Structure 1
Amino acid sequence: MSTEDCVHEMGLLSDEKAKQLFMAVVRKETQKESLPRDWEICSNLRKLWEMCGGLLLTIVTMAGQVACNPDKSDEEWIEVYTALAPRPSTSRTEYQLTKILSNCYNDMPVEIKTCALYFSIFPRGQKISRKRLTRRWISEGLAIEHQGLSAEEVAETYLNHLMRRKLLRATEHSSNGKVKSYQVHGVVLEYLVYKASEENFVTIVGGWVMPPPTSKIRRISIQCSGLRCGKELEAMNLSHVRDLTMFGSLEQLPSSSFKFGVVQILDLEGCKDFKRCHTKEIYRMLLLKYLSLRGTDIKKLTKRIGDLRYLETLDIRETDVLELPKAICKLERVVNIFGGNKRTRKALKLPEELGKMGNMKALRALSGIDIGGEETTADFHHLTDLRKLTIYNINYNMIFQHSVVFSSSIEYLGGFSLRALVIHDDSAEFLKSLGGLSSPPMFLNALELSGKLIELPKWIAAMDALTKLTLSLTALRADNLELLSKICSLFSLTLSLNAAKQDEETAAIIEDNKACSDGVIPFPVGGFENLKLLRFIAPYVPQLSFPDGAVPTLERLELRFSNFEGLVGIRGLKNLQQVYIKVQDEASETTELIVKEMATAAREDRQGPRIIFD
């Protein structure tokens, strides 16, 4: 690949629109509503957006560079312009798509340039999970603790810098407002692949045409499958590979070509054709730090998982692995264990030795687990660094003798590092007991309680750090909303119900909740001082009422349902910008009529919030 391969023909903006876009990006990324007048009229800045030739990508990239260098002098910007100004004999498009990207790349700190090259590992058009990316950076040592910031915080600053540079864009946000996934513009990715090849950062097989590697292969991204791919891999010396990422099928992976002892990052997320022989090969990768088998066909982990003493992240979500062997307790460096299936609520059983031996004290995230089965643990007191605990299943009858221990664990960890707690309890028997906690986990940022929960713990109103709250729709009651409105820090509130969980008892609870407030669920006037996002995800959503003064800061309302009874007072939500409506499965005639009326009202009311129908 050469830089000429990065040339594309695109529509051009006028000088005035180029200026508006340029200044809007600078204003946004410097977080200033208005810029000094000398910025607006500065001839050197004007030269910067004019030399972009009206091409949107180069304008925003150049603006991102200006925003990231607020202290640069006029003389320095003159030097930038002189170096980048197109020559009369040079194609303006070629100039725009090479020199400006190259200048932006070279202007970044070395450590961020390395992290930018990491995006070349992923195929064109792929949505890249923020957490997947940062965990890999940390495992490879690309993001480390620095000046009082944790490795995770350093990784976040790198991502924020790349966002300000406009080298990547957010494609999905989680309900707490944080970016969930990113995507790299195709032209930018081409440039990063070119640089990655030039610097021997990664070797890509399939997806891109790259020259054969001239030195040792340290990282490899396999983006193809089939016989041709297998032959190409067989011809390579892969004995020095320390970072292996595959997309597609494992069928053509030539295991005989690997000296598995040096691999530290193995990411097979979503790969098909995973066989028992692959598991055996993984157990020989004794230096592994990051192992993702998410979405593969793996069925079981054996005791040999205990040989991977350097392992920091184990991701076996959405697989058939539903039990961890006792040997997992040997992994004293492990930081993250992710298992189970969020959609189906299949949960991962932990060995009871985890609670007895007191090992694995480095754990910070334990997700998708089962509590209450035979030979499992309910004691997590020793995991004082644990920040996230996600329980997908509680067998209350079996855990009853351990419920005091589990409740005590939640109380104890809440006083240390625990910041996110998710509990799915179909019977809600354990959830009901939470109201009796003597020391509730008051420092949580995120809390999810799912089950046939009707009455909320009274202490929830005093959770001053809570920004993200998810509850079962059975808790949608006027008195509960009054309680929740007192949580000053709350950013997002979700009330949901899995269609498979809506039985006669659940339906009766929802009807009783409606009857308590004359058939309508009213939101209280006042309170919810920082609530920006309100979501309802359920087969059936009752009528909702928003009197004047209710949820004053709400910006987005999401409704996903099969049957819906309507909204009252939506025009009184002064800050509401967007309403997202998705009708799931077959809707009733009443629901279809309500949705049509909302669509008509949205077309007629140009001043109201934007309503999106999916």
Structure 2
Amino acid sequence: MDLVVGASESTINSLVGKLGSLLAQEYALIRGVRGDIQYINDELASMKAFLLDLTQDDHDNRKKDWMKQIRDMAYDCEDCIDDFAHRLPKDSNFSGKCCCPWLAALLYDLWTCWPRHEIASNIAELKVRAQLIADRRMRYGVESPKGRESNDSSDDVPGYDEIAEDQLPRREMTMKEPVGTRTVMEELEKWVENKAVKDRTVASIVGFGGVGKTTIAMALFNKVMKDFDCRAWVTVSQNYDEEAVFRDILSQIIPDYNQQDSYENTERRNTEKCIPGQFKRALQLCRRHTPTTQHDNSGRSKLTSATTVKEHLQEKRYIILVDDIWSAETWKQISRCLPDNNRSSRIIVTSRLRSVGAACYQSEKDHIFSIDFLCDEDAEMLFKQSVSESKCRNDGDANNLSKQNQKHSDKEIIHHGELWRRCGGQPLAIVTMAGLVACNQNKPTKYWDKLCKRLPARETSVTEVFDKQVNSLTLEGVKRILDCCYNDLHGDLKTCLLYLAMFPKGCKTSRKCVTRRWIAEGFVTKKYGLTEEELAETYFNQLLRRKLIRPVDHSSNGKLKTFQVHDMVLDYIASKAREENFITVIGGHWMMPAPSGKVRRLSMQSSSSKPGDSTKGFNLSQVRSLTAFGNINQLRFQEFNNRLIQVLDFQGLKGVRDKHMNHICKMLILKYLSLRGTAITEIPPRIGKLEFLETLDIRETDVEELPENVRKLKRITSILGGSKNKNPRKGLRLPEEKRKKQQLQDKEDDGMKALRLQDNEGNGMKALRILSGIEINKTTAVESFYLLTELKKLSIYKLSIEGPDKIQIFEQLLSSIEYLCSCGLQTLAINDLDSEFIESLDKMSAAPRYLVALELSGKLEETPNWLQKLHTLNKLTLSVTVLRTGTLDLLSSMPLLYSLTFSFSGAKQDNDIVNVLEKNKSQSDGEIFVPKGFKSLKLLRFFAPRVPKLGFCDNAMPALEIIEMRYQTFEGLFGVNTLGNLKGVHLREEKLGEKDEKTINGFLLDDLKYSTEELQVAIDHTFITY
């Protein structure tokens, strides 16, 4: 509960709600306790009202100390209530086991006598603390808050229009060239394109934090990467982890690298399963005493990542962007593993430190570019552009605003002209201020006049980086600007922003991961008629509009997939979080001292694999949220109170094994559990004890099946499993239960297993909203899916249905899917390589009208006849086996279709697939024509062993921006010059067998290169073996 941090309304309401529930439990309370709880409840409500009336100017040292006391008391109160709720068994547990009610009540009183007296004593102490805190305010003169002005409240409830606007996500596919950098960009482009220089050369971009170094480097990288064989972008930051950096590079220069690791590791484990027990123990003993290097989760040697990078790049022309280096020594370590291969390779480095730039400058062929603050003209242009972007949901809207409403926009921005002038030409300050302006369009002049007085005055000073006079902004000036942007947020949004300090600098953070964690932490509750998920998305979109977070990667539907927080913004919110004891970080780059109070949210960011005393001096008994990066050896589970932890995120954590599940299953109020990318292989049956669990993420692990007791998770909303990146995909089997055998010869009860989504009382996983990455086979009782009426996403990675019951299972599965679609299913994905189930989808009696995303992969020969009726669909993936002109005609009229993909996800090229493709091509006279239409489509992708000749007609796909292809054989792409909005083409040619220097057909390259000067064409070559 976070009373002080952002005056978070949702979290204090959660505590008041718990107190109210406790008062309603007649059986649980003893004499005298009810009055104490009522007193604490009333005091907290009054304190909340007092704090909400405080303005930012009212926060003097006395008020801050008093607020801290309220927060600590509320923390302890919440812990006491949760301990009360979980130490006392429910009365129904006794009455259900006893036929005599009065005897059951007597047994319950005797069984719970000691815990109830102990908790009563704790509540009495909390009541005294609440009284003392109230008295202390009067004794030390903590005055009542001044009256607020109606237009000057940062904690105003957001209006309906604002909520409705932020519900609609911004969709993007391409990046714009940064403002005010044309000269620098031209010089950098000349450096890159100078092929007369065969040596590997380095360009270092240095400058003050927030001047746009990374933005410039990324714009250059995206513009020139088409000319290189290999390309990668990595963020280093202060906490340099060599292994993580080079594995990130490997994942980009060898696209299937992680998949190969996983395959080799799985094969090794499968081989071990076949070894008898005594031999297996002997093998493990031999390994234990054999000198080896350390291994990570994928099974590869820790020392081979950098070596593999060097070997792979030895004969390639490559470009590598190394962002945010903080020491010359770090650069030297990275540089040694990037070969100088006499192929005109290029390395781009960004850093705040001139010493790093000097270390990169080893010859006259290297360059140092110092980035200055923007001049007034560029600063104004950036401000206007950023305001327009924040007001609109996509680039088209922004362009329309700038063209159609230019006069109105100019008039409005002139009114705020003093704001951007106070930002000192620093791009970070300008864009965050633009976000504030865009989100407060209805504020009166008085508000902006008062805001200007809080901003730093313009200064001309000598900066340490540039050694010359410029219109600069000091670190203190940046902090004051961020203060204004932060104080403008309403309470819940402040809390959500501060929570991002849990993640390390330079970390690419998943949007979905963050929103799920906000919900589990209690920062987001149902309001404004929205569910928790919808409101969390709304809050995220508000932070994005306000430019407090920056996008990194987008999904194929255009929505933001991952994001980063700028270093200076992250420094600011980490400082705020530390002041309020909201988040504690151990390791990494923060160097935080041990907090004086109890730790509530802990982020462990050390990359060391050695057990240490990093938590020495920390009181971890009240930790509610634990996030760990690096290695699990840093943790000592005995230091934590398992009864209080609600959020546990071990994603990608090294060293996590099945034995650690014993500790995790003791965390009885756990709501969020992520083990994604760890080495666990099994979920124990004790998982059923985590009755409050809402999210279970076990993607990219070796867990193959869920235990039977998972059906006891009545509050579970998201089950995420399987491995999407494997080829073929790996699915997660649902829990199975043997039916009782009534007769050995009875075919219906002959030991077959069936899924049970509910227990004997009819309860179960009815709250489930996301079921992703599952495998359906003959032992799965698919008829039970109809119980999941709240389901919004169903993703089936594998269908293994054979035998005499195949038709019956098909009918049951189809009936369940049709029913779920009628209940509001929004995302349906089915990957069917062998069973031919997807062919039966055409028999659905009603179109799944609520779908926004549909994926049908496998041997699909005909598209369902209801497909063109899906008017809300924005993302569609179909098997390449239906790629023909007739299919494109069918889809061309879909009004909201944003992304269209034709793919085949088989592990190898299938002769049947090839024959179907040849048949489709012959039906289209040897060439697939893309008809006019597809007015909203921006992304077109083809992932298949063979892609036929494609031609674009006039007026086809007018909004298309990106074409992506991955193939072994490609016959050509024509009519590209008709695609007026096309920004980029990415081709990945997969070749069988050994490396072959044969390139893509020359006529194809010519057609692409000469279609438009601004078209970015990137070509990759990968070599695969079967």
Does the pair score TM above 0.5? yes
Q: Which residue of 2 aligns with 1:466?
A: 873
Identity of aligned residues (%): 45
Q: Which residue of 2 aligns with 1:404?
A: 811
Larger Rg: 2
| 8 Å contact from structure 1 (residues 498, 539) kept in 2 | no
Q: How far apart are 1:558 and its partner, in Å?
A: 1.8
The residue type paired with residue 149 of structure 1 is L
Give a deviation string over 1:214-234, Cα, whole Å, max 9, x none: 211000001114377730214
SS of 1:176's equivalent in the other structure is coil
| 8 Å contact from structure 2 (residues 456, 477) kept in 1 | no
Residue 291 (1) aligns with residue 673 (2)? yes
Distance verdict in 2 for CA 1:606–1:371, change over 3 Å: closer
| 8 Å contact from structure 1 (residues 396, 429) kept in 2 | no
Residue 374 (1) aligns with residue 779 (2)? yes
The residue type paired with residue 385 of structure 2 is A
Q: Which residue of 1 aligns with 2:603?
A: 221
Of 74, 79, 94, which residue of structure 1 is paired with 2:450? 79
| 8 Å contact from structure 1 (residues 86, 95) kept in 2 | no
Distance verdict in 2 for CA 1:93–1:487, change over 3 Å: same
Distance verdict in 2 for CA 1:459–1:44, change over 3 Å: closer
Aligned counterparts of 1:321 and 1:228: Cα–Cα separation in 2:
27
Q: Which residue of 2 aligns with 1:361?
A: 766
Aligned counterparts of 2:868 and 2:1012: Cα–Cα separation in 1:
37
Q: Which residue of 1 aligns with 2:654?
A: 272
| 8 Å contact from structure 1 (residues 6, 190) kept in 2 | no
1:484-523 matches, within 5 Å, as 484-498=891-905, 500-523=907-930
The residue type paired with residue 567 of structure 1 is L
Of 248, 254, 257, which residue of structure 1 is paired with 2:630? 248
SS of 1:324's equivalent in the other structure is coil
SS of 2:920's equivalent in the other structure is helix
SS of 2:632's equivalent in the other structure is coil
More helix per residue? 2
The residue type paired with residue 799 of structure 2 is I
The residue type paired with residue 153 of structure 1 is E
**Which stretch of structure 1 is more off in the superposition, 545-554 or 295-304?**
545-554
SS of 1:142's equivalent in the other structure is coil
Residue 120 (1) aligns with residue 470 (2)? no
- Structure 1 gaps, min length 5: none
**Which stretch of structure 1 is more off in the superposition, 436-445 or 146-155?**
436-445
Of 531, 536, 539, which residue of structure 2 is paired with 1:150? 531
Of 566, 569, 585, which residue of structure 2 is paired with 1:185? 566
Q: How far apart are 1:18 and its partner, in Å?
A: 0.4
SS of 1:479's equivalent in the other structure is helix
**Which stretch of structure 1 is more off in the superposition, 476-485 or 333-342?**
476-485
SS of 1:404's equivalent in the other structure is helix
Q: Which residue of 2 aligns with 1:202?
A: 583
Of 278, 293, 302, which residue of structure 1 is paired with 2:684? 302
Aligned counterparts of 1:38 and 1:158: Cα–Cα separation in 2:
26
Q: How many residues align?
A: 608
Q: How far apart are 1:553 and its partner, in Å?
A: 3.1
- Structure 2 gaps, min length 5: 1-207, 211-351, 354-370, 393-400, 462-471, 736-753, 1021-1026
Q: Which protein, 1 or 2, shows the higher relative CO under an 8 Å CA cutoff with sep ≥ 6?
A: 2
1:462-611 matches, within 5 Å, as 462-498=869-905, 500-524=907-931, 526-585=932-991, 592-594=999-1001, 596-601=1002-1007, 603-606=1009-1012, 609-611=1015-1017
Aligned counterparts of 2:477 and 2:486: Cα–Cα separation in 1:
14
| 8 Å contact from structure 1 (residues 478, 521) kept in 2 | yes
| 8 Å contact from structure 2 (residues 855, 876) kept in 1 | yes
1:45-124 matches, within 5 Å, as 45-86=416-457, 92-124=473-505
Q: How far apart are 1:35 and its partner, in Å?
A: 4.9
Q: Which residue of 1 aligns with 2:375?
A: 14
Q: Which residue of 1 aligns with 2:180?
A: none
| 8 Å contact from structure 2 (residues 860, 882) kept in 1 | yes
SS of 1:231's equivalent in the other structure is coil
Aligned counterparts of 1:239 and 1:584: Cα–Cα separation in 2:
54
Residue 230 (1) aligns with residue 612 (2)? yes
| 8 Å contact from structure 2 (residues 647, 673) kept in 1 | yes
The residue type paired with residue 543 of structure 1 is K
Q: Which residue of 1 aligns with 2:158?
A: none
| 8 Å contact from structure 1 (residues 117, 192) kept in 2 | yes
Q: How far apart are 1:235 and its partner, in Å?
A: 3.3
Residue 424 (1) aligns with residue 831 (2)? yes
Distance verdict in 2 for CA 1:229–1:220, change over 3 Å: farther
Residue 167 (1) aligns with residue 551 (2)? no
**Which stretch of structure 1 is more off in the superposition, 233-242 or 384-393?**
233-242
| 8 Å contact from structure 1 (residues 499, 539) kept in 2 | no
Q: How far apart are 1:202 and its partner, in Å?
A: 0.6
Of 768, 789, 799, which residue of structure 2 is paired with 1:384? 789
Q: Which residue of 1 aligns with 2:517?
A: 136
Aligned counterparts of 1:566 and 1:280: Cα–Cα separation in 2:
56
Aligned counterparts of 1:579 and 1:522: Cα–Cα separation in 2:
18
Q: Which residue of 1 aligns with 2:290?
A: none
The residue type paired with residue 18 of structure 1 is A
| 8 Å contact from structure 1 (residues 350, 376) kept in 2 | no
Give a deviation string over 1:350-404, Cα, whole Å, max 9, x none: 1234246452110101111111243554530111111111111112315613221
Aligned counterparts of 1:275 and 1:607: Cα–Cα separation in 2:
53
Give a deviation string over 1:107-138, Cα, whole Å, max 9, x none: 21111111111111111111111111111111
| 8 Å contact from structure 2 (residues 609, 633) kept in 1 | no
Aligned counterparts of 1:35 and 1:200: Cα–Cα separation in 2:
46
Give a deviation string over 1:67-104, Cα, whole Å, max 9, x none: 11112222321221122133869983224321111221
Aligned counterparts of 2:1008 and 2:859: Cα–Cα separation in 1:
35
Q: How far apart are 1:502 and its partner, in Å?
A: 1.8
Aligned counterparts of 2:454 and 2:986: Cα–Cα separation in 1:
47
Aligned counterparts of 2:777 and 2:944: Cα–Cα separation in 1:
27
The residue type paired with residue 249 of structure 1 is N
Q: Which residue of 2 aligns with 1:347?
A: 731
The residue type paired with residue 575 of structure 1 is N
| 8 Å contact from structure 1 (residues 64, 164) kept in 2 | yes
SS of 2:786's equivalent in the other structure is coil
Aligned counterparts of 2:422 and 2:944: Cα–Cα separation in 1:
52
* TM-score scaled by length of structure 1: 0.93
Distance verdict in 2 for CA 1:216–1:78, change over 3 Å: same
Give a deviation string over 1:502-552, Cα, whole Å, max 9, x none: 22221121112112112211122x332322221112333221111213233
**Which stretch of structure 1 is more off in the superposition, 318-327 or 85-94?**
85-94
| 8 Å contact from structure 1 (residues 561, 582) kept in 2 | yes
Aligned counterparts of 2:497 and 2:209: Cα–Cα separation in 1:
17
Q: How far apart are 1:195 and its partner, in Å?
A: 1.3
SS of 1:180's equivalent in the other structure is strand
Distance verdict in 2 for CA 1:289–1:371, change over 3 Å: same
The residue type paired with residue 75 of structure 1 is K
Aligned counterparts of 1:84 and 1:71: Cα–Cα separation in 2:
20
Q: How far apart are 1:175 and its partner, in Å?
A: 1.4
SS of 1:592's equivalent in the other structure is coil
Give a deviation string over 1:309-349, Cα, whole Å, max 9, x none: 00111111111111111111111111111111112211111
| 8 Å contact from structure 1 (residues 369, 390) kept in 2 | yes
Give a deviation string over 1:185-239, Cα, whole Å, max 9, x none: 1111111111111121110011111122121100000111437773021432211
Distance verdict in 2 for CA 1:471–1:111, change over 3 Å: same
Distance verdict in 2 for CA 1:584–1:200, change over 3 Å: farther
Aligned counterparts of 2:777 and 2:654: Cα–Cα separation in 1:
32
Aligned counterparts of 1:593 and 1:349: Cα–Cα separation in 2:
41
The residue type paired with residue 606 of structure 2 is C
